[in-house]
Structure 1
Amino acid sequence: MTGNTPVTVLGIGSMGRAVAAAFLAAGHPTTVWNRSPERAAALVEHGAAQALTIEDAVRASPVLIAVLTGFDATLDSLAPAAGALAGRTVVTLNSGSPAGARAAAAWITARGARFLGGAIKNVPAAVGDSDTLLYFGGARAVFDEQAGLLRALGGDLAYLGPEPDLAALYESAVGATLLPALLGFLEGAAVLATRGIPAATMVPYSRNWLRMIESLLPILAEEIDTGDYTKLGSSVDLFDAAVADDRALAAESGVDLSWHEPMHELVRRGVAEGLGAQSISSLFEVMKQPAGWAGPARRAPGFMVASPLRNPES
C-alpha cells in the first residue's frame, strides 16, 4: 500500500496516543477514536481527525489499529459498527490471551474484515524507533500488504506465522519474565533500604546481572529443545540449597519474600522427581506437566522445536 494510507486508531491511552502520533509523523492521514473523546485533543492539534462515533471511525479508513485494553474491549467497541467492517483490515495491538485473539479473529473475519494480531515490544516513548520490535500473527498476505504502514510504529517487524493468536501467545511467553524481574528489583531495593542504601546504587550491578542472564538464554533454550539438561552447570540442587539463604535474608531484613514460595515449591518438586543434579532448565519438565507428572519426557536424540519466528523478508 502507498505511504499515505489512511489509518484509524481505536483507543488513545498512552500506547494509543504514541501509535497515532507515529502514524501522523510518517504522513498517514490518521483518525482517532476513544470512549472518552477529550483524550483526542492533543492529537487533533497535531493533525489527527477525530471520530465521535465508532461507526465514523471505522468508515474513515481501510485499516483499523485497535489499541484498547484487551480483546473483549475491542469487540465491545466494534460491535456497534459491525456492519461497516467488511473489506477493512483490523490490526490488534492490545493485550490479552491467545483464546481472546482467536475469538476476536473469528468475530472480525465473520464480518468480512481481515485480521492481524500484533504486539509492540517496547514502551510508548519508543514507538516509531528503528529498533522497536513488533510481531504479528495472521495471514501472510495481510502482513505483507500492511508492513509498510506498520513500519511507522517500529523498524523491527517480525512475522510469526499464520495463526491469528501467535502474537498473544508470544506476549504471554516472553512477558512471563517481566513481573518476576521487576519484583526482584523491588525486593533488592527493599533489602538495601533496610540499611539506608538508595536503590540507585544497585542499578549498575543489576544491569550487569541482567546481561549475564541474557547470555544464558540460548543455553537454556537449547537444553529445553533437546532435553539434554547438562550444559548450564547451575543445578536444581544448587537452587534448592539457596532456599535456606532466602529465608535467612527475610528473617534478617524483615522484607516480605513470600512471593518466592511458589518458586521454592517448583524447585522442591524437581528434586523430588530426581532432577536435582540436572540444570535448572530441567524444571521446564515440571512446569509443562504440573498434574500427575511422572518424570522427564523421553525424546529422540537431536529432537528440536523449530521457532516460527521469521524475518518479514523470509
Structure 2
Amino acid sequence: MSAVAPAAAPVTVIGLGPMGAAMAEALLAEGHEVTVWNRTPARAEPLVAKGARLAESVAAALGANELVILSLTDYDAMDALLKPVAGALAGRTVVNLSSDTPERTREGARWVTAAGAEFLAGGVTTPPSGIGDPENTYTFYSGPRDAFDRRRSTLEVLTRADYQGEDPGRAALMYQIGMTMFWTSMLSYWQAIALADAHGLKAADVLSHARETFASLDMFTSFYAERVDADHHEGDVDRLSMGTASVEHVLHTMRDAGVDPTLPQAVVDLFRRGMAAGHGNDSFSSLLGLVKAAK
C-alpha cells in the first residue's frame, strides 16, 4: 500500500471554539480526514455534517490519528484534558496552538515529550476568519525541526508556517510580542474614539486619520530598531523633553473632554520617570531602559 500523501494526512483537532472549528473546517476543505473532540459535543455537529468524525473521548481522539492539533484556552486546559490519558500520547505529534507564556509552553512540552509524543508549539497570529488563507496569514511554530518538517504541509493548510527554532517557548514568545503591540495599540484606538465621541465625532469620522497614523508606525519601528540595538539613544532626532510635553497635552485633552485618563496617565508616568532619570535631552527611545528586565 502506498504511503498517505502529506497533504492528505489524517488529523485530530481537540477544542472546537471558533479557532478550532475554523481549523477543522479548513482541513476538511482540503481533503483531510478529520477527527474532532470537544467538551460540548454539540459544537461538532456542523463539522460532522461536513465529514468530520466525532470521537467519544479524548483518548479516542488521540488514538484516531498520529497528528493531533490542540486549540484550547491555555496550557492548563491541555493538562486537564491530556494528563488523565497520557498513556495515549505515545507516538503522536501534538501541535498545541493554544496561547500561554513561553515558560508554561516549555513546561508543557517537557511532559508531553516525556509521555512519548513529539511536541510542537504554535502561536496563531490571525483571528478565525484568517484560517485557511496561508498566503495572507501566518503562525509561529517551534519545537523539533524534523517533526515540523514532516507536518509542515498539513499545518500550512491553516496558515503560512513560520518556524522559529527548537526551543518550544520561542513560538509563544513571538506570539506574546505581537499581542503586546496589538492590545496596547487597540486600546489607544479605543481611547482616540472616546475622545472623538466626546467632541461629537464618530469612529468613521476619524477612520482615515487612524489608518494613516497606524501606517506611519512602520516607518518609526524600522527607524528605531537599528538604533536601539546599537544602544543609540542620543537626542539627535527627537528629545524626551518634547515628547513629555506632547503626552501631557494628550492627557490634558482627555481630562478636558471628560474621557477616562487611565491609559494616557500611564504613558505620562513613564515619560516623567524618564525625565527624572535625567534623559530629557535623549531620545524618547531611552525609555526602553526603564522597562527592560534587570540583568
Q: Structure 2 length as normaliser, TM-score?
A: 0.94
Within the alignment, does 1:100 sit opposite 2:108 as a pair?
A: no
Secondary structure of 1:177's counterpart equals helix
Deviation larger for 223-232 or 131-140 = 223-232
Alignment of 1:62-101 (within 5 A): 62-101=66-105
Q: Give the drift of 1:235.
A: 2.6
User: Are the equivalent residues in 1 in contact too, given 2:91–2:116 (CA < 8 A)?
Assistant: yes
- The corresponding residue for 2:158 is 153
Q: Which runs of 5+ in 2 are unaligned?
A: none
In structure 2, which of residues 126, 133, 139 is the aligned counterpart of residue 134 of structure 1? Answer: 139
- The corresponding residue for 1:223 is 227
- The corresponding residue for 1:248 is 252
Deviation larger for 267-276 or 167-176 = 267-276
Q: 2:239, 2:68 → 1: CA distance? A: 49
Give per-residue Cα distances to partners, 1:189-229, cap 9 Å, x unaligned. Answer: 11111222111111111111111012211222212211112
Within the alignment, does 1:235 sit opposite 2:226 as a pair?
A: no
Secondary structure of 2:156's counterpart equals helix
Q: Give the drift of 1:260.
A: 2.3
Within the alignment, does 1:28 sit opposite 2:32 as a pair?
A: yes
User: Are the equivalent residues in 2 in contact too, given 1:54–1:80 (CA < 8 A)?
Assistant: no
Q: 2:152, 2:144 → 1: CA distance? A: 12
User: Are the equivalent residues in 1 in contact too, given 2:196–2:203 (CA < 8 A)?
Assistant: yes
Q: Give the drift of 1:232.
A: 7.9
Q: Structure 1 length as normaliser, TM-score?
A: 0.88
Q: Read off the aligned partner of 1:234 and give its amino acid letter.
A: D
Q: 1:82, 1:166 → 2: CA distance? A: 24
Q: 2:156, 2:230 → 1: CA distance? A: 35
Q: 1:264, 1:244 → 2: CA distance? A: 6
Give per-residue Cα distances to partners, 1:23-58, cap 9 Å, x unaligned. Answer: 111111011111111111111111111112000100
Secondary structure of 1:161's counterpart equals coil
Q: 1:261, 1:244 → 2: CA distance? A: 8
Q: Read off the aligned partner of 2:186 and give its amino acid letter.
A: L
Q: Which runs of 5+ in 1 are unaligned?
A: 294-314
Q: Read off the aligned partner of 2:106 and give its amino acid letter.
A: R
Q: 2:161, 2:293 → 1: CA distance? A: 33
Q: 1:55, 1:278 → 2: CA distance? A: 59
Q: 1:189, 1:279 → 2: CA distance? A: 28
- Specify which structure has the higher proportion of helix: 2
User: Are the equivalent residues in 1 in contact too, given 2:251–2:268 (CA < 8 A)?
Assistant: no
User: Are the equivalent residues in 2 in contact too, given 1:220–1:232 (CA < 8 A)?
Assistant: no
Q: Give the drift of 1:289.
A: 3.9
Number of residue pairs aligned between Structure 1 and Structure 2 = 290
Q: Give the drift of 1:231.
A: 8.1
Deviation larger for 135-144 or 221-230 = 221-230
Within the alignment, does 1:18 sit opposite 2:22 as a pair?
A: yes
Give per-residue Cα distances to partners, 1:224-278, cap 9 Å, x unaligned. Answer: 2111124882332222112431232123210002222222222122122222222
Q: 1:97, 1:140 → 2: CA distance? A: 21
Mark the CA change 1:33 to 1:237 in structure 2 (over 3 Å): closer, same or farther: same
Let me know the Cα RMSD of the aligned residues.
1.6
User: Are the equivalent residues in 1 in contact too, given 2:124–2:175 (CA < 8 A)?
Assistant: no
Q: Give the drift of 1:167.
A: 0.9
